[in-house]
Amino acid sequence: MLGSDVLLCFIFYSTLLILKMYIIAIITGQVRLRKKAFANPEDAERHGGVQFCRTDPYVERCRRAHGNDMENILPFLFIGAVYSMTGPSYAVARLHFLVFFLGRVLHSVAYLLALKAPTRSFAYVIAQVPCISMAIQILMEVASFA
Ligand code: GSH
């Protein structure tokens, strides 16, 4: 009902990545509570007073990790879906999705654990490679109609 094997594979990795983003959001909320660093005065008041409406370096790190996911995973949801409709071989498509998935998981781990540079940048580049590859293949597929 959901379509081809490639599309199912794309849906599988996309859903895992969305869950990964939810996990970062949950971690951000937990860090806010632990560090008493709230984004809004009403939240701070509930947990000790308006003085706790403040920023915290680790909360900001979590937010950057989440923001970078949004910059990269949201385009993947479009690029991957369209690429899945261009009729790629299953093995090649799965490799694209898997490399992106692993790259983004490593990016999150590197960001949240502040791993030594250039681990995070390396993960970012690894995840970009399949996206650029898929974008080029989509353009080649549709170029004749444009
Ligand atoms: N918006 C990104 C930035 O400002 O750095 C664009 C470039 C990018 O995504 N770089 C990767 C990254 O993890 C590898 S260095 N950037 C950190 C971030 O977006 O918080």
Q: Which of 124, 128, 132 to mutate to test the pocket of ligand 1 (most atoms within 8 A of CB)?
A: 124
Residue nearest to atom 6 of ligand 1 (CA): 68
Q: Which of 68, 104, 109 to mutate to test the pocket of ligand 1 (most atoms within 8 A of CB)?
A: 68
If pLDDT is split at 50, 70 and 90, which confidence band does 132 have? very high
Output the pLDDT for position 101. Answer: 99
Closest atom of ligand 1 relative to the 107 alpha carbon: 13
Ligand 1: lining residues by beta carbon, under 6 Å: 64, 68, 71, 120-121, 124
Q: What pLDDT is stored for residue 145 in this prediction?
A: 82
- Which pLDDT tens digit goes with each residue over 6-25? 999 999 999 999 999 999 99
pLDDT digits (tens, 9 = 90+) for 16-70: 999 999 999 999 999 999 999 999 999 999 999 999 999 999 999 999 999 999 9
Please answer whether residues 105 and 20 qualify as being in contact, where contact means their C-beta atoms are separated by less than 8 angstroms.
Answer: yes
Question: With 80 as the cut, is the pLDDT of residue 3 above it?
Answer: no
Q: Is the pLDDT of residue 131 over 60?
A: yes
* Long-range own/partner contacts, residues 81-84 (CB < 8 A, 24 or more apart): 81/7, 81/10, 81/14, 82/138, 83/10, 83/134, 83/137, 83/138, 84/3, 84/4, 84/6, 84/7, 84/9, 84/10
Q: Which of 124, 8, 10 is nearest to 76 (CA)?
A: 10
- Residue in the structure block whose two tokens are 């003085």: 51
Residue 1 has pLDDT above 70, yes or no: no
ipTM over 0.85? The verdict is yes
Nearest-CA residue for ligand 1 atom 12 is 121
pLDDT at 127: 98
